[in-house]
Amino acid sequence: MNKAITANKLTKKFGNFIATNAITFDVDKGEVFGFLGANGAGKTTAIKMLTGLSRPTSGEATVAGLDIYRHAEQIKQQIGYMSQKFSLYEDMTVSENIEFYGGIYGLKRSEIRERGGKSLDQLSMTNVRNHKVNSLPLGWKQKLAFAVATLHKPGIVFLDEPTGGVDPITRRQFWEMIYQAAEEGITVFVTTHYMDEAEYCNRISIMVEGLMVACDSPAALKSLHNASSIEEVFIKIARNKE
Amino acid sequence: MKGHVLRAFVKKEFLHIFRDYRTLMVLFGMPIAQVILFGYAITTELRDVKIGVWDMSKDQKSIELISNITSSEFFALNDNVSASHEIEASFKKGRVKAFLVFPNDFGNKLERGTASIQIIADASDPNTANIITNQLTSIIQRWDMLEKSKTLRRAFIDTEVRMHYNPESKSVLLFVPGVITIILMLVSAMLTSISIAREKEMGNMEILLVSPLKPAVVIIGKILPYLMLSLVNALIIMGIGNVVFEVPVNGSFVLLLLECLLFIVVALSLGVFISTKVESQQMALMMSLFALMLPTILLSGFIFPISSMPLPLQWISHAMPPKYFIIIIKAIMLKGVGIAHIWKETLILSLMAVFFIGLSVKNYKSRLE
Amino acid sequence: MKRLPFILKKEFIQIFRNKAMLPIIFVVPIVQLLILANAADFEIRNIRLDISDADKSADSRELISKFEHSPFFEVSYIGQDYKGNIERLDRRESDAFLTIPDNFSHDLKSNHEVKLKLDVDGIDGQKANLTYFYAANIIRGFRPRINNIQMLGKKFPVPIQVKPRYWYNPELDYKNLMVPGILAVLVTMVGMFLSSMNIVREKEIGTIEQLNVTPITKVEFIIGKLFPFWVISLVELGIGLTFGKLIFDIPIVGSLPLLFSFTAVYLLVMLGFGLLISTFTHTQQQAMFVSWFFLVIFILMGGLFTAIENMPSWAQKITWFNPVSYFIEVLRLVLLKGSGFNDIMRYFGIVGAMALVVNSIAIFNYKKRQG
C-alpha cells in the first residue's frame, strides 16, 4: 500500500450544516499535500476526522493504512499534528515541552535528548531551551511546534494552518522545514488559506463550502483553468460556484 | 460622561451574560436549589436525637422518666445497655449521641432527694453535645419538678419563655436570611471578578484601556448588569423563603429591596476590586470562591454567634460585609423594624461600597499610567 | 504506562510554576484554618440580660445575684417598663430580659406557683435556646430564704441532680472537632477546585486537542491529572494537622496512618469528581460554578457546622451521597475516639465504591474524539 491517506466520500454534518460533503481523495507517501480553502470551507473538520479528533458522519478513510473508525488509537502513534490553536504549553520551557511530547509518544529519554538537541540546533534555539515558551515570538513558537510534532518521526504529519499570523520570512523558513521533513520521507498534509503557499505543494485540493472542487498538482490546475497563479484558479473556481 | 456610551457598554455586558446559557442556569438555578435544600437541612433544632440508657434500677420512676424523654420530639431511644464498656462500644459505632445513666434504687432515692442522673455525652461533636445535655437536663428537671409538686404538695418556680421575633424557635427563619446573604455575597463577588479577569486574559482589557472610556464608566458598566441579575436572584430567593418556608417580611419591603441593592453593590464592587488585583480567571475564581467562602460562612454570624468568638475574631468580623447584611435582613424580615434601628449597619455597608469602588478606580487608573 | 512519568512531570511543573497559585494552595488554607477554627463556637457567654424586678424583696435580690454570679450572664438593671425592654431587644442592646413579678417572694412562701417570664431575642437560634436553658437552670436551682417559722420543716423541693460528663472531649472544647473539621473542608475545597479547573483549562487554551491526537490513553490522562492534586492534598492535610497539634493541641487518639489511608481513598472521590465536572464543562468559569455549587452543599450538609441528626430524614438520606460527611465522621472517630479499622471499615467501603464510580465516569466521559 503506497497511499498515506485515502478518503472516500468522507462527510461530517453538524445538524443541518454539512461541514465536509463527501470528499474523496488520496495522498501518496512522501507527498506534500495542500488543503486549500477559505475560512470555514471545512478544512479543519477534514483534518480533525483524519486525526481521530472528530467522528465522521459517513464515508470511509484510512491513515497510514489504518481505518479511522476502528484503529483511531493506533493511527495516533503514526502521525504528528499541529493544530490551528497554538499547542505547546506556554508555562513550560522549550526543553520541557520537547521532553513531554517525546515522552508521550514513547520515546526513550536518550532518544528525546538526541533528537531534541538536533532539532533545537537546526532551529538555532539551543540558547533559549530553558526559556518559557510564552517568552518566544510567534514564529519561533510555530517552528518549535512543528519540530515537536515530528520529533517521534511520524509517517504522516498534519499541519492545520501552521503559518497563520506569521511574517513572510518565517513562513519561508517554515516551508523549508516542511520540505526537509518530506525529504526524510514524512508525508505532509497541510491546510492553508495563503494561495502562494499552495504553489509549494506537490498536489493541492481546493475546498469550497464543504465540497472538494479540485484536486491536482498546482501546474495542472493552472493550465486547466488557464490561470497564471493559484490565486487566480481559486477565484475562478469560486466564481463558477456562484 | 455620555449616557449612550454607558448604555452601549452595559448592553455589551448583557449580551455576554445571556449568550452563555450554562452560566445563566448556574446563576439562577443553583441558588434556588441551595436555598430550598438548606432551608430544610440546615437546622440546629434537635429532632429525634438517638440516645441510649443504662438503667440500673428499672423501677417505675426510671421507666416513667425515660418514656417522658423519648416521647418528646427531641429524642429517640436507640440503645439499651447494662455495662459501662457497652457505652464505649456504642459511641464508637456512632449508634447514639448520649447516654442516660440511672443509679439503682432510683425511685427511692428520688423520694429522699438524693437521686442523681448522669448524662454521658459523646462530645466529639462538642457543640451538639452541649445542646443535647442542656435539653436533656431541662426535660429531666421539669419532669422532676412536676413530680415533686405532686408528692410534696409544693409549688415550684417555672420559667415561661417567649422567643421574640421567632416565637416557635424555627431554625429556618434564621437560616434563610443567612443563606440569602451567603449566596448573594459569593455569587455577586464571583461574577464581577471573573468578568474583568476574563477581559484581561483575552486582551480585551487593553482595548478598553486605550478607549476613551473613563475608568468609572467601565466599572459601572461592569457592575450594572450584574446588579440587576443579582437583584432578580435576591427576589427569587426571598420569594422562595416566603412561599416555601414562610419566612415573613414584617418590615418595609421597599427598605428590604434597597438594602439588598446596597449589599449587592458592596459584593459586586468587592469582586471588581479582586479583579483589578489578579491576572487570570483562575486566580479571580480562587480568590472570590475559595478565599471568601469559609470566612463568609463562619465569620458572618450565619451559623455561629459572633458574640461567642474571641475578641480578635470579632474585630475581623467587623470587616465582613455579610455580617452587617445578616443583621439588617433579619431586622427587617423578622423584627419588622425600620431604618432607625439599622442605620449604623447601612452606613457601614455604604462606606464599604464607596471604599471598594474607590480602590478599584484607583487601581484601574494606575494601570493606565 | 511508561508515558506516565512524563505526564506527571508536566503536571507538577505546571502547578509549581504558577507563582500566583501556590500561596492560594498552601498559605491561604493554613491561615484560614488558624483563624477560622476559633470562630465555630456555639458556647454562649456574656448573655446580656435585663432584669426588671417589681418585687424588690430579699428573695428577688437573691435570685438576681445568682444571675450575676453565673458565668453565662451579664446583668444590667432596667426599669419595669415592658415596652422599654422590648425596645432594647429591638436595638440589640440586650439579649434577653427577665421579669420578676411583684408578688414573687410572697407567692413563693405561700406555696403558690410562681411563673417568671423570660423574653429572649430569638434572632440567634442556638443562642436563644441556650439562654433559656441556662436561665431556667438557675431559676430551678433557686430556693427562697427560710426566714419565717412556717417554712421550717417544710422542705422546699431539691431538684434532681443531673451530672453531665463529656466523653472524648471532657472540656467540651469545640476546637478539638473544628480544627480537623475545617482542615478537612479546606483540603476538600482546594482539591476539588483545582482538579475541576484543570482539564477545562486545557480545553480553553486548546492544548487538549494536541493531547488527543497523541497515543496517550484515557486512564493515563486521568491518573496524570489526579495524582499531583492527590499528593498536594495529602501533604496539606499533614501540614494542617501538624499546625493543629502544635497550636491548638488537638487530640490525636487514633492511628494517623489509618486516617491518612482513609483520606487517600476519600481524595480520589473528590478529585475524581472535580475532573468529572471538568470533562462536562467548557470554561473554567462553568467548572468553578458547578464545583462551588456542590462544595457548598457538601460542606453545609457535612455534619460539621450543624449536626446531620437534626436534618429531616430525606435530607439525611441525601447526606449518604455526601463524601464530606464520611470524611468528617472518620476524622471524628479516629482522631477523637480512637476508632480502629474495624470501626470505620464501612466508611472505607462506601468511599472506596464512590471513588471507583466517580473515576470510572470521569474516564468514560473524557472523550478523545468529540462529536
> What's the confidence (pLDDT) of residue A188?
94
Of A53, A90, A105, the CB nearest to C215: A105
Contact C305, C177 (CB under 8 A): no
- Please state which architecture CATH assigns to domain A3-241: 3-Layer(aba) Sandwich (3.40)
Contacts of B134 in chain C (CB under 8 A): 129-130, 133-134, 137
Put simply, the answer to whether B42 touches C163 (Cβ < 8 Å) is no
Domain boundaries, chain C: 4-40+174-365, 47-151
Report the chain C residue with the minimal C-alpha distance to residue A158. Answer: C213
Q: Indicate whether C300 pLDDT > 50.
A: yes
Percent of chain A with pLDDT over 90: 41
> Is residue A146 over pLDDT 50?
yes
Determine the pLDDT at residue B209: 67
Q: Which domains does chain B have, with CATH numbers?
A: 3-42+170-368 (no CATH), 49-151 (3.40.1710.10)
- Element containing residue A81 per DSSP (H, E): strand A79-82
The pLDDT mean for chain C works out to 87
CA C172 to chain centre: 15
The DSSP annotation for A139-153 comes to: HHHHHHHHHHHTTT-
Lowest mean pLDDT among B58-62, B222-226, B322-326, C8-12: B222-226
**C304 half-sphere exposure, CB direction, 13 A CA radius:** 34
Chain C residue with minimal CA distance to A102? C6
* pLDDT top residue among C154 and A217: A217
3-state secondary structure at position C69: helix
Q: Mark which residues 144-183 of A lie under 8 Å from C by CB.
A: 158
pLDDT (0 to 100) of residue C371: 58
Q: Flag whether pLDDT at B123 surpasses 80.
A: yes
Mutation for C interface: A100, A108, A151, most C CBs within 10 A? A100
What is the grid cell recorded at B312? 480578635
**Which residue from A81, A85, A90 is facing C213, i.e. has the nearest CB?**
A81
Could you report the per-residue pLDDT of C245-259, keeping only the tens digit for each?
A: 999 999 999 999 999
C320-335 pLDDT, tens per residue? 999 999 999 999 889 9
Report the C-alpha gap between C179 and B139 in whole angstroms: 32
What pLDDT, on a 0 to 100 scale, did the predictor assign at position C232?
94
Cβ contacts of C30 within 8 Å, gap of 6 or more: C239, C240, C243
CATH of C47-151, one of 3.90.1300.10, 3.40.1710.10, 3.40.50.360, 3.40.109.10: 3.40.1710.10
Q: Specify the range with the lowest mean pLDDT, choosing from B77-86, B342-351, C306-315.
A: C306-315
Biggest distance spanned by C-alpha atoms of chain C: 101
Position C149 scores a pLDDT of: 47
Q: Which of A3-7, A99-103, B276-280 bottoms out in mean pLDDT, i.e. has the lowest?
A: B276-280
Please state, in angstroms and rounded to a whole number, the distance separating the CA atoms of residues B172 and B246: 9
Of A54, A89, A103, nearest to C14 by CB-CB distance is: A89
The alpha carbon of residue B272 is apart from the nearest alpha carbon of chain C, in Å, by: 16
Q: Going by C-beta distance under 8 Å and a sequence separation of 6 or more, which residues neighbour residue B270?
A: B189, B321, B356
Distance, in Å, from the CA atom of B192 to the CA atom of B204, rounded to the nearest integer, reads 15
Top residue of A89, A92, A108, A133 to mutate, by most chain C CBs within 10 Å, is A89
What pLDDT does B11 receive?
81
Comparing A4-18, A151-165, B199-213, C156-170, the range with the smallest average pLDDT is B199-213
| Bridge partner residues of C100 (DSSP) | C53
Q: Looking at the predicted structure, is the pLDDT value of residue C357 above 90?
A: yes
Is the CB of C311 inside 8 Å of chain B's CB atoms? Answer: yes
What's the pLDDT band for B286 if we cut at 50, 70, 90? confident
Average the pLDDT over B350-363 and give the result: 89
Higher pLDDT, C147 or C272: C272
Q: Please state whether the predicted TM-score (pTM) of the whole model is above 0.80.
A: yes
Residue C41 has pLDDT above 80, yes or no: no
The pLDDT value recorded for residue B157 is: 75
Contacts of B167 in chain C (CB under 8 A): 122
State chain B's maximal CA–CA distance in angstroms. 91
How many Cα atoms within 13 Å fall on the side-chain side of residue C243? 20
pLDDT at C152 over 60: no
Q: In this complex, which chains have at least 3 CB pairs below 8 Å with chain C? A: A, B
Contact (CB<8Å) C32/B294: yes
The pLDDT, as a whole number, for residue A241 is 67
Nearest chain B alpha carbon to C26? B291
pLDDT number for residue A1: 55
Q: Among residues 27-66 of chain C, which lie with CB inside 8 Å of chain B?
A: 28, 32, 35-36, 38-46
Give the residue carrying C-alpha cell 472505607.
C348
Domain boundaries, chain A: 3-241
Which residue of C129, C132, C192, C232 to mutate against B (max B Cβ within 10 Å)? C129
* For residue B20, pLDDT beyond 80: no
ipTM for the predicted complex comes to 0.85
Q: What's the mean pLDDT in C181-191?
A: 93
With 0-12 CB in 10 A as exposed, 13-18 as middle and 19+ as buried, what is C187?
buried
What is the Cα–Cα distance from C194 to C274, expressed in whole angstroms? 8
Searching chain A, which residue's CA lies closest to the CA of residue C210? A87
The answer to whether C311 and B43 have CB atoms below 8 angstroms apart is yes
Pairing of strands B157-164, C114-121: parallel
| Contact (CB<8Å) C17/A91 | yes
> What pLDDT is recorded for position A121?
92
